[in-house]
Structure 1
Amino acid sequence: MPKALLKKSLVKGASLGLALLLAGCSSLPEPQYPPADLPKTTGKQQLVSEWKDHSGYGERWRGYELMPALDGDLLVAADAQGLVQAFDLSISGFFKSDLLWSQELDQGVSAGLTLADGNLYLATQNGELLSLDARTGNTNWQVKLSSEALTPAQVKDNLLVVLAADGQLTALDTVTGRQLWTYASVMPSLSLRGSSTPSLTSLQSFTGLANGKLVAIDNNNGQVRWQSRIAQPSGRTDIERLVDVRGQAKEAQGLLLVNSYQGQTHALDPFTGRSRWSRDLSSYHAPAVLNNQVFVVDEASRIHALDLYSGTSLWTQDALYGRELTEPVILENSLVVADYQGYLHLLDPKTGEVTGRKGFDLDGIRALPIVNNNRLLVHSIRGRLGLFTLKK
């Protein structure tokens, strides 16, 4: 087989849809994390269903993570075959439809959706980025990227930044779609399927890369302000040397928090990239932060709580071991994760105690749950949409 030929192989274990892109013909191992049985819960908390519908085909076996977008009463969802639907949640009643608009794109959607300033931004499987009017579905502009994007575009003021699967970071004007700058990273021969979602401030864009580095880019000119190594490749094989920074970097209390696969969890100075503390925790996901605590779901789906300022371990919960958990999110003052069987788990962030559980879709949940105005929006692999609140 020619060396340039790319093979995709699904690695089962820590997370559904973690496919590896491999140059050459060697086979891939399958690290196994046997899933734990559903743990008992205290029943202290319950999720209440507020709304449900269907996005169409969903993600299915294609390995995409198609997070819907929610802003107030406007909810937009898409599927891997190109169906895009917008719902107005303020419309209710037996004879009224909350479907605002719907359209079929020529290509399937490849990444989660972004709503900002009345516009919807979405990436397609043929490597295009589209801007649509969120209330009508009319196209504002569309541009061609260097390859398909696997994570949502991020918007700050009039700047949009998107990372393509080939490692190229592109900044666009949100109004016109005009390219402002690009940054190209060097991709290793083997990497996890998926990319890091950029994180934007008014001055810088932070992006994790497949080579184990986090880079800070000046928003004005696209120049590198600093780059920091989050994980150091080691071992003899390409598989052993995988060090993707796949989760989004999160800013909290003057620190920049970032995880890496087969590497570490770091707290960095956002202006210099210097590490304030680090822990040997390997993760595919971004951390979550609440009340000076950092929550990390590791590659085996153990949940860790760390002190924000020191990185000291506060607790570890392994009752959900091997259940291929999503990135953790904060709903009011509760920690929420979803798993490969479509269950939503509630945890007490102070103790790690499992306080509640809600079944949603046995086909599983791969996409990051979305939190907006104390509501939890979930999208299953087969396209079910559910909106939940915590029971008071």
Structure 2
Amino acid sequence: MNKLLPPPVRAVRLLSAAVLAALLAACSSGPQKPKPTPLESPAPASLRVQSLWNQRIGSLQQLPMRPAIHGDTLVAATADGTVVALQADSGKELWRASVGSELSAGVGSDGRFTAVVTRANQLVVLQGGQVAWRQALKSRVVTPPLVAGERVFIYAADRSVHAYDAASGAKLWSQQRPGDPLMLAQPGVLLPVRDTLVVGQGPRLAGLDPLRGSVRWEVPLAAPRGTNEVERLADLVGPPARNGDVVCARAFQSALGCVDAQGGVLQWSKNSAGATGLAGDGERVYGVDATDRLSAYRQSNGEVLWTSERFRFRGLSAPLALPGSVVVGDAEGYVHLLSATDGVPRARLQTDGSAVVGAPVLVGSTMVVLTRAGGVFAFRAQ
């Protein structure tokens, strides 16, 4: 196991997606990555999108940040440990706090409790914008905490899962599954589905009892293959796509698939090289592959419905599904809205010129996008 490795080795066992991509590229004899595909001119304008407001909360640096949503409140955090709650329809700041340390993971919130994890491996929980408690963690965390059912759930980079009482900070249980020693420093899968805690552990999607941590079911989405640890790395990456009891997720650079999370039944899985999460609208699942092809799959069986190559090598974010549209951001700060039925571009929006990070999120009827420079931009499709 990774915990048995001496410190100099352990330090290189946790690989970010960017570092891993560089390693894979260095091992390849192929040409360098092509230049980003130029954007079409003029910009598509078949869908009217209103710019509502924008805020600057502070730099996200390399933090793969995605804000937490509760009701009409958006909670975001910056790399330096600032946590900000905003009213999604107006951008009004509700509260702001600092945990006093740089963060390694994003933010989780149920509206009452808000949780973040620092680079010093400390879980910090806030209530009403004030620090309520702190707990030291044994492993690094890059997946945002999940706050639900008066509990704070943590998925650590060593694939262990931990539960804490949200009010007191008391540790309730821990669960560790065996796995390969090489781990991916990229947000994984952690979400509630009815009374089940669904988590990605390596290439498997698992359903846990949130009260005890026991495993109810587990389903492999990928079968890792390769001659070394890098090639066999197939951790599930977030965000997943959920519609009712169906959860769809991507296994890093190997496959994507959908699982009935109520019974732990695999619906389908297919090979696909990619490193970002998925989105879905109940009928289609959307994903971006390693070359920034955006594809729509039929949720029921994985059939490819359409593929767009308009944004290849533009550094696309994970997608967001809207009624009638799918949304992705790119590394130059553009936000692209495409038709959900055929992938034809409908609108193009500008932010601050820095990369869109995480995935766009929907809060009520407001679409919110975060950028690397710390910009928060809110839009509404008409």
Q: Cα 1:27–1:73, aligned 2, differ >3 Å: closer, same or farther?
A: closer
Q: How does 1:136-215 map to 2 (within 5 A)?
A: 137-209=129-201, 211-215=202-206
Q: Cα 1:254–1:54, aligned 2, differ >3 Å: closer, same or farther?
A: closer
The alpha carbon displacement at 1:350 in A equals: 0.6
Q: Equivalent residue for 2:3? A: none
Q: Is the 8 A contact 1:331 1:374 kept in 2?
A: no
The alpha carbon displacement at 1:347 in A equals: 0.6
- AA aligned to 1:35 is P
Identity rate, percent: 25
| Counterpart-to-counterpart distance in 2, 1:382 and 1:294 | 29
The alpha carbon displacement at 1:6 in A equals: 2.4
The answer to whether the aligner puts 1:50 opposite 2:52 as a matched pair is: yes
- AA aligned to 1:59 is L
Q: Cα 1:165–1:33, aligned 2, differ >3 Å: closer, same or farther?
A: farther
- Which residue among 294, 306, 309 is the counterpart of 1:303? 294
Alignment length (residue pairs):
373
The answer to whether the aligner puts 1:119 opposite 2:113 as a matched pair is: yes
Q: Equivalent residue for 2:39? A: 38
Q: Is the 8 A contact 1:67 1:77 kept in 2?
A: yes
Q: Equivalent residue for 1:339? A: 330
CA deviation profile, 1:338-386 (whole Å, cap 9, x unmatched): 1111110001001111111011122211222221011111211111121
The alpha carbon displacement at 1:32 in A equals: 3.1
- AA aligned to 2:126 is L
Q: Equivalent residue for 1:78? A: 77
CA deviation profile, 1:303-331 (whole Å, cap 9, x unmatched): 11111112111111111111121111123
TM-score (norm 1): 0.85
| Counterpart-to-counterpart distance in 1, 2:193 and 2:34 | 37
Q: Cα 1:219–1:388, aligned 2, differ >3 Å: closer, same or farther?
A: same
| Counterpart-to-counterpart distance in 1, 2:258 and 2:14 | 32
Q: Equivalent residue for 1:221? A: 212
Q: Is the 8 A contact 1:245 1:284 kept in 2?
A: no
CA deviation profile, 1:235-257 (whole Å, cap 9, x unmatched): 21222222121124443354332
Q: Is the 8 A contact 1:155 1:200 kept in 2?
A: no
- Give ranges in structure 1 of 5+ residues lacking alignment: 12-16, 93-97
Q: Equivalent residue for 1:95? A: none
Q: How does 1:239-278 map to 2 (within 5 A)?
A: 239-278=230-269
Q: Is the 8 A contact 2:284 2:297 kept in 1?
A: yes
Q: Cα 1:32–1:207, aligned 2, differ >3 Å: closer, same or farther?
A: farther
Q: CA RMSD in A?
A: 2.9
Q: Cα 1:258–1:86, aligned 2, differ >3 Å: closer, same or farther?
A: closer
| Counterpart-to-counterpart distance in 2, 1:77 and 1:114 | 9
The alpha carbon displacement at 1:121 in A equals: 1.8
- Which residue among 210, 215, 222 is the counterpart of 1:231? 222
Q: Give the structure with the higher percent helix.
A: 2
| Counterpart-to-counterpart distance in 2, 1:160 and 1:230 | 26
- AA aligned to 2:38 is D
CA deviation profile, 1:29-74 (whole Å, cap 9, x unmatched): 4783542111355311243221112112x122xx211223344554
Q: Cα 1:253–1:311, aligned 2, differ >3 Å: closer, same or farther?
A: farther
Q: Is the 8 A contact 2:144 2:187 kept in 1?
A: no
CA deviation profile, 1:70-99 (whole Å, cap 9, x unmatched): 44554433211122333456889xxxxx44
- Which residue among 338, 346, 354 is the counterpart of 1:355? 346
TM-score (norm 2): 0.87
Q: Cα 1:100–1:252, aligned 2, differ >3 Å: closer, same or farther?
A: closer
Q: Equivalent residue for 2:19? A: 19
CA deviation profile, 1:259-303 (whole Å, cap 9, x unmatched): 112322222232443322222223323321114111122222111
SS of the aligned residue for 1:321 comes to: coil
| Counterpart-to-counterpart distance in 1, 2:259 and 2:208 | 15
| Counterpart-to-counterpart distance in 1, 2:12 and 2:25 | 10
Q: Cα 1:26–1:297, aligned 2, differ >3 Å: closer, same or farther?
A: closer
CA deviation profile, 1:107-157 (whole Å, cap 9, x unmatched): 1122222231322222222112222123xx112222222223212212332
Q: Is the 8 A contact 1:66 1:110 kept in 2?
A: no
Q: Is the 8 A contact 2:325 2:340 kept in 1?
A: yes
The alpha carbon displacement at 1:27 in A equals: 9.5
- AA aligned to 2:18 is L
| Counterpart-to-counterpart distance in 2, 1:362 and 1:287 | 24
- Give ranges in structure 2 of 5+ residues lacking alignment: 1-5
SS of the aligned residue for 1:239 comes to: helix
Q: Is the 8 A contact 1:126 1:147 kept in 2?
A: no
